Amino acid sequence: EVLSRTSEVDIEGGWKIGAPVPYAALTKTFSLIEATTKRLEKTSLLTSFFLLVIRRSAKGDTHSLLQAVYLCIKKLSPDYVGVELGIGESLLVKAISESTGRSLAVVKADLKKEGDLGLNSKASQKTLFRPKSLTVPLVFTSLKEIALSSGHSSQTKKVSIITKLLAACQGGEAKYIIRSLEGKLRIGNAERTVLVALAHAAAFAENEESGKKLNKDKLTSRLEEAASIVKSVFSELPSYDLVIPALLTDGISNLRSTCKLTPGVPLKPMLAKPTKAIGEVLDRFENKRFTCEYKYDGERAQVHKLDDGVVGIFSRNSEDMSRKYPDLVEQLSHCVKQETKSFVLDAEAVAIDKTTEKLMPFQELSKRKRKDVKVEDIQVRVCLFAFDLLYLNGESLLQKPLVERRDLLRQHFQVVPGEFGFAKSSDGETTEEIQAFLEESVKDGCEGLMVKMLESDESHYEPSRRSVNWLKLKKDYLAGVGDSLDLVVVGGYYGKGKRTNVYGAFLLACFDADSEEHQTICKIGTGFSEEMLQMHWDTLRALEMDKPRGDIKVGGAKPDVWFEPKIVWEVLAADLSLSPIYTAAQGLVEERGISLRFPRFIRVRDDKSADDATGPEQIAEMYERQALAHRKGKHDKGGD
């Protein structure tokens, strides 16, 4: 299918070997991907396009594929470099108005009607000379220039670059230029699809070069193997800048040895599965050695020390937080023993009381400025609790069992009270021991426990995976649905009575990364103090829209105002139910969507963006688990 589709994504004339990739070929591929809902078809279209890029790139050119991949994932650099695409709506409206000759009011009205700035954005052909056709490198560098320009005259500069781009657009190109600038392609193309397509295209290209003819079974297994290698390598070294050149130059089979965990490049952290009861933990770890650790209520911090002594601190989403935590960078030198040259630590940064050194809740930590913090101005003190060591003195430890990684951690670092500690742990085995440790953790100001496999292959560190070898057991879970959810605020309801000057309730949504769609899930009005409602009013008012944005799947929800989907809240609920109104996870468990019953606001998650919100698969999984627990409960009662 891939080979036959290459002619579909190809454009007529104009794409010679060694020439820059025509932007028209990329947007043609986008249109075809947008037109289908089938995941496999999306993957094969993208594979065909990448394969054409590889075939037509000059020898040794790895840049063309790299830039094409970046444009497909709406990024311009690895996450930790932080060059972000996405400019404000008002600036875009201005640029569109200037290049299309339509008034600001008309562009805005169109946006409200369509919920999509990309439509109707073709520039009017005012110029005498037709500008040259757009190419992928030109679009990529222009977008980068826009993202990097800051200061005084940057607005004018950005508008002028956008206007130039739009003037050169042909056919459907303008739509995708605008959408790229918004940071939303809306073609239903998740990053994992891009990774698979990249692996498949490289496998096809290698095969073509070797001149061998593989039968269907062999080819299928080659493709599967390539995808699994590329995905696992990328979770260890999430940098296309490094992975793509290695993939094209050294080949798929060498990728695991050429691209490895490297200090300075944050890897995607391992995540935990929620559990609702201690019994569930024991079921999972029966006859295995496991450890329970305090689940600290702070912010995840991946700490890297490079050979040259530079220290980097990265967030759960691989953002560079070194400028947020200059105190941690300083403190780190006290807890590292002499012989430790380079390392990668997995840890939690937790606010502590300055005098008593007691743990403080996450809310305290969130009072800190996010950037350019000066050590002398710091009010909220932070202690780092390390729970894993992933790299040490030039060697990756990911494949070692946790018990060994933990020993190495304790050998090479030392406790400095109030600055650095090891996550408190207990290798208990019975329900009573776990219960006692859980209560102790909560008394000490933690959220509960993380229960981890300690020995064997199952205790390896699994980058980017939400693994059953790490279970989280939060005190709150025991009575509720299990895990909390991180949801995007997409609508507001005006308050009544005492709350007339603020929003009294909100419409929340989950985020489906495959369709790039926010799916409504519940109305929430509980868990807010008056002070908080005022704060939410102040933040959300600026995001008000009269109509739902095009990527919100509304269903039957009818809030008084809509918000641009941007703010993420952590929410707990009593349980989940099927709903004729809301659209979350529609079609996954049943035709109907899933909704939260008795949702309660916990906190703002400003470390997560709208794209990191809980996904429909997780919600469907929670619903299924709840249904199963229900059936089991009934069955157990029957047995009595």
Using the minimum distance from each CB to ligand ATP, give the nearer residue, 106 or 271.
271
Give CA–CA dist 93/90, Å, rounded. 5
Q: What's the length of the chain?
A: 640
Residue number, 409 or 554, with CB nearest to ligand ATP: 409
- Residue 468's nearest CA partner among 253, 191, 272, 183 is 272
Instruction: List CB contacts of 211: < 8 A, sequence separation 6 or more.
Output: none
Minimum gap (Å) between residue 627 Cβ and ligand ATP: 22
Considering only 48-56, 213-221, 227-235, 290-298, which stretch makes contact with ligand ATP by CB under 6 A? 290-298
As a whole number of angstroms, the longest Cα–Cα distance in the chain is: 87
Least distance in angstroms from the C-beta of 146 to ligand ATP: 31
Binding residue (CB under 6 A) for ligand ATP from 42, 186, 295, 305: 295
Quote the radius of gyration of the chain (alpha carbons, Å). Answer: 26
Q: Is 518 in the site for ligand ATP (CB under 6 A)?
A: no
Given the complex with ligand ATP, which of 362 and 562 has the nearer CB atom? 362
Selected binder of ligand ATP within 176, 296, 528, 623 (CB under 6 A): 296
CB 471 within 8 A of CB 279: no
Tokens 């229960």 belong to: 451
Q: With respect to ligand ATP, which residue has the nearer C-beta, 138 or 408? A: 408
- Within 10 angstroms of residue 526's Cβ, the number of other Cβ atoms is 10
Among positions 106, 190, 271, 532, the unique one binding ligand ATP when judged by CB under 6 A: 271
Candidates 191-199, 287-295, 329-337, 434-442; binding stretch for ligand ATP (CB under 6 A)? 287-295
* CA 196/CA 137 separation, integer angstroms: 23
CA separation for the pair 222, 415 (Å, rounded): 48
Instruction: Of 106, 84, 2, 102, give the one whose Cα is nearest residue 51.
Output: 2
Does position 402 interact with ligand ATP (CB under 6 A)? The reply is: no
Asked if 316 touches ligand ATP (CB under 6 A), the answer is yes
User: What distance lies between CA 42 and its chain's CA centroid?
Assistant: 21
CA distances from 238 to 267, 331, 534 (A): 6, 27, 39
Q: Using the rule CB under 6 A, which residue among 348, 364, 462, 551 binds ligand ATP? A: 348
Contact 625, 276 (CB under 8 A): yes
Report if residue 280 touches ligand ATP, rule: CB under 6 A.
no
Which residue do the tokens 């003190």 mark?
381
For ligand ATP, which stretch binds (CB under 6 A), given 69-77, 170-178, 289-297, 355-363? 289-297
Residue 24 CA: distances (Å) to CA of 29, 36, 129, 178, 448:
8, 19, 19, 14, 53
CB of 525 to ligand ATP, least distance (A): 22
- If binding is defined by CB under 6 A, does position 268 make contact with ligand ATP? no
Residues 410-439, mask of contacts with ligand ATP (x by CB under 6 A): -------------x----------------
Site for ligand ATP in 525-554 (CB under 6 A): none
Based on CB atoms, which residue is closest to ligand ATP, 344 or 423? 423
The helices-and-strands tally (H runs, E runs) of the chain is: 20, 21
- Which stretch in 80-88, 238-246, 288-296, 322-330 sits in contact with ligand ATP by CB under 6 A? 288-296
Nearer residue to ligand ATP within complex by CB, 295 or 536: 295
Residue nearest to ligand ATP (CB): 300
With contacts defined by CB under 6 A, name the span among 295-303, 389-397, 524-532, 555-563 that binds ligand ATP. 295-303
Q: How far is the CB of 298 from ligand ATP (least distance, A)?
A: 7
Minimum CB separation of residue 472 from ligand ATP in Å reads 5
Determine the Cα–Cα distance for residues 1 and 75; give it in Å rounded to an integer.
Answer: 28
Least separation in angstroms between residue 621's CB and ligand ATP is 13
122, 295, 553, 608: the catalytic one is: 295
CB 95 within 8 A of CB 103: no
How many residues bind ligand ATP (CB under 6 A)? The answer is: 13
The pair of three-digit structure tokens given for residue 152, joined into one six-digit string: 């005084």
Residue 243 to residues 230, 240, 249: CA-CA distances in angstroms?
8, 5, 10
Q: Tell me the H-state helices in 520-576.
A: 530-541
Least spacing, CB of residue 284 vs ligand ATP, in Å? 16
* Interface with ligand ATP in residues 443-502 (CB under 6 A): 450, 472
Shortest distance, position 294 Cβ to ligand ATP, whole Å: 6
Rounded CA separation 294/531 (Å): 31
Coil vs helix vs strand at 301? strand
How far is residue 244's CA from residue 144's CA, in Å, rounded to a whole number? Answer: 19
The nearest distance, CB 382 to ligand ATP, in angstroms, is 14
Best CA proximity match to 331, nearest among 462, 212, 420: 420
Can you tell me the distance from the alpha carbon of 232 to that of 236, in angstroms, rounded to the nearest whole number? Answer: 7
For ligand ATP, the closer CB: 290 or 294: 294
**Closer residue to ligand ATP, CB minimum distance, 29 or 614:** 614
Looking at beta carbons only, is 300 or 549 nearer to ligand ATP?
A: 300
186 is a site residue for ligand ATP (CB under 6 A):
no
| Cβ proximity to ligand ATP, 198 vs 386, nearer residue | 386
**With 0-12 CB in 10 A as exposed, 13-18 as middle and 19+ as buried, what is 40?**
exposed
Among 229, 134, 125, residue whose Cα is nearest residue 180: 134
Shortest CB 487 distance to ligand ATP, Å? 12
Selected from 98, 116, 206, 293, the binder of ligand ATP by CB under 6 A is: 293
Supply the angle between the helices 154-168 and 89-100 in degrees, to the nearest 10.
Answer: 50
* Binding of ligand ATP by 272 (CB under 6 A): yes
- Nearest CB to ligand ATP, comparing residues 138 and 403: 403
The distance of closest approach from Cβ of residue 595 to ligand ATP in the complex, given in angstroms and rounded to an integer, is 21
> Binders of ligand ATP among 350-389, rule CB under 6 A?
387
Smallest distance, Å, CB 451 to ligand ATP? 10
Give the tokens for residue 303: 């700490």
- Give residue 507's Cα distance to chain centre: 22
Instruction: Name the residue nearer to ligand ATP (CB basis): 233 or 423.
Output: 423
* Kind and range of the H or E run holding 148: helix 136-148
469 SS3 class:
strand
Residue in 300, 400, 523, 553 binding ligand ATP, rule: CB under 6 A? 300
Distance (Å, whole) CA 545 – CA 561: 7
400 is catalytic: no
In the complex, the residues that contact ligand ATP under the rule CB under 6 A are 271-272, 293-296, 300, 316, 348, 387, 423, 450, 472
| Active site residues per annotation | 295
